């Protein structure tokens, strides 16, 4: 039996410890040999760098959200309504008819944002649609101001509220003309009509969308084109609130959420608001909206082909004492052209009327009982 070579055993043990240490942490190999033999297998520094970069990115994003929320929130207000009280009778099988008082209690219904230190607030027109009700705006510090005047834009779902105040903090209005899909955005508002100053985040998920606000069967249907689509959570109560970018600039007015879908909301581009606001400040009112006076249903191309009728606006009703009645438009007519322009699914009757002004003389091409007629009329001013 050979004698054990103690020197070789010692060297072998040392090498083994170095290899084990290199596998577990790499520190011993680095310090003893000044090399990194396992970096290709275990890229310790690269992994640490990636983790550090990810943590840094998360911290930066969190910082942006916090900074923007702190900057914009003082300019965001809650819109509250107080409807008049009414006495109604309710039937009870145990006591017959009993009176009950309905209304009168203030409740939060929407959001707005301050655009002037002297008390101009932007919100959606549909938030303040009730002309008989009284409205208030509540700031972040819970100060309440009665709305003294309301100016509603007949062309868009926008309204300007005037309150008696001074020294308010106005938002910074951005530019919605150069937005990009994927751009980071935040929405601030009174979610669900209860949760004031709720902040949600997301991205711009689409541009140039078209949505219908109002009743599509009515001649004064409001078509909003080129709206911003976002996946930032927009709930009932957020209407009229700001959609802001990472610089804290307002780039849109939250207006609607897609029915039956999740995380799809829409906002009116701020450039539309800026144009209307500039006109309002110069003339003291919004531009007038033209009115024809028909209730209709658009017939899409596929339906028209199946039923052997032309594509256009099928007239459901003609409103009395309107330009449509004066022109001789009748129920069951199909309006195929408006002022020489064909009606399509992409550009219906409402979209074409919006391009006109009160007092404009227009021609209507109408299909009636297999015949095509040409009618003329003069558009009047739309009155809500």
Go through 112-150 and write b for each residue having 16 or more CB atoms within 10 A of its CB, e for each that does not: bbbbbeebbbbbbbbbbeeeeeebbbbbeeeeebebeeb
CA proximity to 325, closest of 347, 292, 349: 292
User: Minimal CA–CA distance to 384: which of 158, 216, 152?
Assistant: 152
Check if 126 is active-site. yes
The token pair that represents 224 in the structure block: 């909003």
Beta bridge partners of residue 86, listed in sequence order: 102
84 SS3 class: coil
Tokens in use for 119?
């008390």
Cβ proximity of 113 and 171 under 8 Å: yes
| Catalytic residue from among 75, 80, 239, 333 | 239
Please choose, from the candidates 175, 191, 179, 290, the residue with its C-alpha nearest in 3D space to the C-alpha of residue 232. Answer: 191
- Of the candidates 126, 176, 197, 205, the residue annotated as catalytic is 126
Between the two ends of the chain, the Cα-to-Cα distance in Å is 112
Q: How many CB atoms lie within 10 A of CB 365?
A: 20
Active site residue 197: no
* Residue 80 bears catalytic tag: no
Residue located via tokens 């009395």 = 320
Within 10 Å of residue 223's Cβ, how many Cβ atoms? 19
Q: 106 and 128 in contact (C-beta within 8 Å)?
A: no
The active-site residue out of 157, 197, 205, 333 is 157
Q: Give me the active site residues, please.
A: 126, 157, 239
């Amino acid at each position: 039996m050979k004698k054990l070579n103690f020197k070789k055993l010692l060297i072998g043990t040392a090498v083994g410890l170095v290899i084990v240490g290199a596998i577990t942490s790499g520190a011993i190999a680095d310090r003893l040999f000044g090399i990194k033999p396992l970096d290709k297998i275990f890229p310790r520094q690269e992994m640490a760098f990636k983790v550090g970069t990810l943590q840094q990115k998360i911290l930066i994003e969190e910082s942006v959200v916090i900074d923007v929320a702190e900057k914009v929130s003082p300019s965001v207000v809650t819109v509250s309504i107080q409807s008049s009280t009414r006495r109604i009778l309710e039937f009870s099988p145990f006591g017959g008819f009993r009176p009950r008082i309905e209304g009168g209690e203030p409740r939060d219904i929407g959001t707005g944002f301050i655009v002037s230190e002297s008390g101009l607030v932007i919100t959606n027109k549909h938030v303040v649609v009730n002309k008989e009700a009284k409205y208030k705006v509540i700031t972040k510090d819970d100060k309440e101001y009665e709305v003294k005047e309301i100016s509603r834009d007949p062309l868009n779902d926008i309204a300007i509220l005037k309150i008696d105040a001074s020294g308010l903090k106005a938002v910074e209005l951005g530019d919605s003309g150069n937005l990009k899909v994927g751009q980071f955005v935040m929405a601030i508002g009174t979610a669900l009509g209860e949760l004031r100053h709720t902040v949600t985040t997301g991205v711009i998920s689409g541009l140039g969308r078209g949505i219908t606000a109002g009743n599509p069967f009515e001649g004064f249907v409001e078509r909003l084109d080129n709206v911003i689509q976002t996946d930032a959570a927009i709930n009932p109560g957020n209407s009229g609130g700001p959609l802001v970018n990472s610089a804290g600039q307002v780039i849109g007015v939250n207006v609607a959420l897609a029915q039956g879908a999740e995380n799809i909301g829409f906002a009116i581009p701020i450039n539309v608001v800026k144009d209307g606001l500039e006109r309002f400040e110069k003339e003291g009112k919004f531009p007038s909206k033209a009115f024809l006076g028909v209730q209709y249903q658009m017939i899409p191309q596929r339906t028209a082909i199946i039923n052997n009728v032309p594509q256009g606006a099928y007239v459901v009703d003609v409103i009395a004492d309107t330009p449509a009645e004066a022109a001789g438009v009748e129920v069951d007519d199909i309006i195929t052209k408006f002022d020489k322009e064909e009606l399509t699914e992409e550009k219906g009757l409402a979209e074409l009327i919006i391009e006109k002004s009160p007092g404009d003389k227009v021609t209507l091409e109408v299909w009636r009982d297999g015949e095509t007629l040409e009618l003329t009329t003069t558009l009047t001013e739309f009155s809500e």
